[in-house]
């Protein structure tokens, strides 16, 4: 049985590591992009971003100063038990987030949407975001912590309900327009990871787009061949926009385009786009049934 203390410790360290260590797949993708770019400004943007990540890993600052929205995706096994029940997981996330904020691993950016009052600890209605997914057979719990930067969420979120007759042509046009709008002035800190949700209801569509952007490893395509082909076409098209890192001239407006699908109403074709910024922060903690914790930035 997992205790509240163990889960809180795992969440705290996962969010701390997410803020201070760049995931290996993101680093590899940025290094490839830097080798591809020819414009001096494009190369410099990527060089500085990688230098910042190196400094953060050595204990000097954060991968990026805007640690944005604190988010936890919790994958739970069928045999996993939690002392006090699974309702305590949200309490653990609040305690972990408050501690990480107090220790300056998270910037206190969450405010009341109307009064704009800042509680100073990133805790309030809806935050930190916690999603529990029961998708394992064992007694483990995997926590993926994502400090998602504000720019990518504010300027990289789009939704539209199409007619089914608009088809893939309509989807492609919309996604490329979204990428151009999000990246042309460096608003989402490109090269971005673009998540595209197709199908479901409006909320399902946006949710799968967000998870496609945040959680999918770079270079991994959807298991559905049609979706995988759409990913490749959109990625290739994004490289023809003339937009590079941080909106400079170049070809790497995005690191990947990740599509996810959900069945939908026969009269509907909902499409959502959600961007993740170039530092792609996410780190995971795996807790086995005995309470042992392992941390990893590998998402392959």
Could you tell me the CATH number of the domain that includes residue 15?
Answer: 3.30.360
Does 34 map to a domain? no
The sheet carrying 129-136 orders its strands as: 129-136, 69-77, 141-148, 283-287, 293-296
Length of the chain: 300
Does 53 map to a domain? no
Does 105 map to a domain? yes
129 neighbors 15 (Cβ within 8 angstroms): no
Does 39 map to a domain? no
Whole-angstrom distance, CA of residue 80 vs CA of residue 88: 14
- Got the DSSP string for 76-127? EETT--BTT-TTHHHHHHHHHHHHHHHTTSS------TTT----SSS-BTTB
242 in the same domain as 159? yes
Does 259 map to a domain? yes
220 in the same domain as 125? no
Does 46 map to a domain? no
177 in the same domain as 75? no
Q: What is the CA radius of gyration of the chain?
A: 19
Q: Whole-model pTM?
A: 0.95
Does 112 map to a domain? yes
143 in the same domain as 80? yes
125 neighbors 40 (Cβ within 8 angstroms): no
199 in the same domain as 75? no
Using alpha carbons only, give the angle 203, 278, 53 rounded to the nearest 5 degrees: 130
128 in the same domain as 67? yes
155 in the same domain as 255? yes
For residue 283, what are the β-bridge partners? 145
286 in the same domain as 145? yes
Using alpha carbons only, give the angle 20, 22, 26 rounded to the nearest 5 degrees: 165
Number of folded domains that form the chain: 2
Whole-angstrom distance, CA of residue 183 vs CA of residue 179: 6
Whole-angstrom distance, CA of residue 136 vs CA of residue 202: 27
107 neighbors 172 (Cβ within 8 angstroms): no
The pLDDT profile of the chain, 300 residues, written as one tens digit per residue, is 999 999 999 999 999 999 999 999 999 999 999 999 999 999 999 999 999 999 999 999 999 999 999 999 999 999 999 999 999 999 999 999 999 999 999 999 999 999 999 999 999 999 999 999 999 999 999 999 999 999 999 999 999 999 999 999 999 999 999 999 999 999 999 999 999 999 999 999 999 999 999 999 999 999 999 999 999 999 999 999 999 999 999 999 999 999 999 999 999 999 999 999 999 999 999 999 999 999 999 987
244 neighbors 36 (Cβ within 8 angstroms): no
228 neighbors 125 (Cβ within 8 angstroms): no
222 in the same domain as 112? no
Whole-angstrom distance, CA of residue 119 vs CA of residue 42: 38
118 in the same domain as 70? yes
Does 250 map to a domain? yes
242 in the same domain as 284? no
Tell me the residue range of the domain where 254 lies: 151-276
161 in the same domain as 67? no
């Amino acid at each position: 049985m997992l205790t509240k203390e163990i889960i809180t410790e795992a969440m705290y360290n996962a969010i701390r590591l997410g803020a201070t260590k760049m995931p290996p797949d993101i680093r590899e993708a940025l290094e490839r992009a830097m080798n591809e770019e020819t414009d001096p400004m494009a190369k410099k943007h990527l060089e500085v971003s990688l230098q910042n990540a190196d400094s953060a890993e050595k204990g000097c600052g954060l991968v990026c100063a805007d640690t944005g929205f604190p988010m936890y995706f919790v994958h739970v096994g069928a045999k996993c038990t939690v002392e006090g029940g699974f309702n305590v997981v949200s309490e653990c996330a609040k305690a972990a987030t408050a501690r990480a904020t107090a220790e300056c691993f998270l910037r206190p950016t969450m405010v009341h949407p109307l009064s704009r009052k800042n509680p100073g600890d990133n805790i309030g209605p809806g935050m930190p975001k916690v999603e529990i997914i029961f998708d394992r057979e064992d007694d483990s719990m995997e926590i993926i912590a994502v400090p998602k930067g504000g720019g990518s969420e504010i300027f990289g979120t789009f939704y539209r309900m199409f007619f089914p007759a608009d088809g893939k042509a309509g989807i492609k046009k919309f996604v490329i327009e979204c990428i151009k709008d999000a990246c042309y002035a460096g608003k989402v800190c490109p090269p971005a990871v673009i998540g595209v949700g197709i199908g479901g209801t409006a909320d399902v569509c946006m949710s799968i787009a967000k998870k496609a952007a945040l959680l999918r490893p770079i270079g991994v395509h959807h298991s559905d061949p049609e979706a995988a082909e759409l990913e490749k076409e959109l990625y290739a098209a994004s490289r023809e926009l003339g937009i590079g890192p941080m909106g400079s001239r170049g070809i790497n407006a995005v690191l990947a385009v990740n599509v996810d699908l959900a069945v939908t109403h026969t009269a509907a074709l909902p499409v959502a786009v959600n961007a993740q910024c170039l530092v792609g922060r996410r780190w995971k903690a795996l807790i086995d049934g005995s309470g042992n914790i392992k941390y990893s930035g590998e998402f392959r």
